[in-house]
Amino acid sequence: MTKKSEIENFWDFVGRFEDYIGSGIAKEHEPFVFAKIDSDQTQTAAAGTPDSAFLEYKELSDREKNCEWQRCCENMRDCRLCGLSSTRRSVVPGTAARKFDLLVIGDCPSAQEDFSGRNGGEAFGYLGKWLNSIGAAVGENAAYTSVLKCRPGSLAETDAREVEMCRPYLERQTAVASPKVILATGTLFLRRFLNSEEPLPAVRGRLFEYRSVPVIVTYDPQTVLERPELRRPVWEDLKSVRRLLDNRLGNG
């Protein structure tokens, strides 16, 4: 409880400081309250129950999961299944974790990630700050990957076939990680794996399910960097993630 209180106080301070910088007035905000998700009951369910492979990986130790994750990544390196293989610089398979409590799923690699072949850059660093605010970190208790492993020309022009060709990679990574919670940033996972065509603002804050794992959907970090007004709803979504983790890890 102390940890949550410290986080809430920190973000309340940040909000008032931003108001002061922008207007010269430190406004009073409603106090932050952690999302009231007291069970794993979902408002919207999708993608059915775990398959046998998912249940098999769930029994592995975190060390064994890490090894399996690395095998997944190696299998992607020379992928030629779709047209993105002719325009990419690199396949960006994702980042493993020491402990797979949380799996974060983005849309696709950034230009910098496409160049380097690994996760990084401003938006990824910003995501790191999000996760740190709820006691998580990529590489520690959170893994990261994306729906597409190669960078497309634009998400708006992404062909459904490209996502389908990448689907087995993400499904295997999700099975290997068998996380307690999934945080999906952006719209590709929402559209292609949760089968929702609703606009993201209408569904964020709702609890989805994928392979019996609770899923929170929120804005992608790059969009929030460009639109600071989205930081508050993202923080509400992150609090939901923290509450779900606590429930499923027995810390609640």
Closest CA to 93 of 64, 114, 121: 114
pTM for the whole thing? Answer: 0.81
On the question of pLDDT at 161 being above 90, the answer is no
pLDDT digits (tens, 9 = 90+) for 179-236: 999 999 999 999 999 999 999 999 998 999 999 999 999 999 999 999 999 999 999 9
Find the farthest-apart pair of alpha carbons in the chain and give their distance in angstroms, rounded. 58
pLDDT(8) > 90: no
Using CA atoms, how far residue 106 sits from 4, 17, 121, 132, 220, in Å, is: 26, 30, 14, 17, 7
- Across residues 87-111, what is the average pLDDT? 96
* Confidence class for position 35, pLDDT limits 50, 70, 90: very low
Q: Per-residue pLDDT for 151 more than 90? A: yes
Contacts of 231 (CB under 8 A, 6+ apart): 224
Percent of the chain with pLDDT over 90: 70
User: Which residues lie closer than 8 Å to 114 by C-beta, 6 or more apart?
Assistant: 88, 89, 90, 92, 150, 151
pLDDT at 201: 95
Partner residues linked to 218 by β-bridges: 185
Half-sphere CA count of 54, side-chain side, radius 13 A? 17
Asked if residue 94 lies in contact with residue 237, where contact means CB atoms within 8 angstroms, the answer is no
Q: Which CATH number fits domain 45-249: 3.40.470.10, 3.30.1220.10, 3.40.640.10, 1.10.3720.10?
A: 3.40.470.10
Q: Where does CATH 3.40.470.10 sit in the chain?
A: 45-249
* Distance (Å) of CA 99 to CA 70, 140, 179, 201: 14, 6, 9, 31
Q: Evaluate the CA torsion angle 88, 90, 91, 96 in order and state its sign.
A: negative
Task: Specify the pLDDT at position 53.
Answer: 67
pLDDT in tens, 44-73: 444 555 666 677 788 899 999 999 999 999
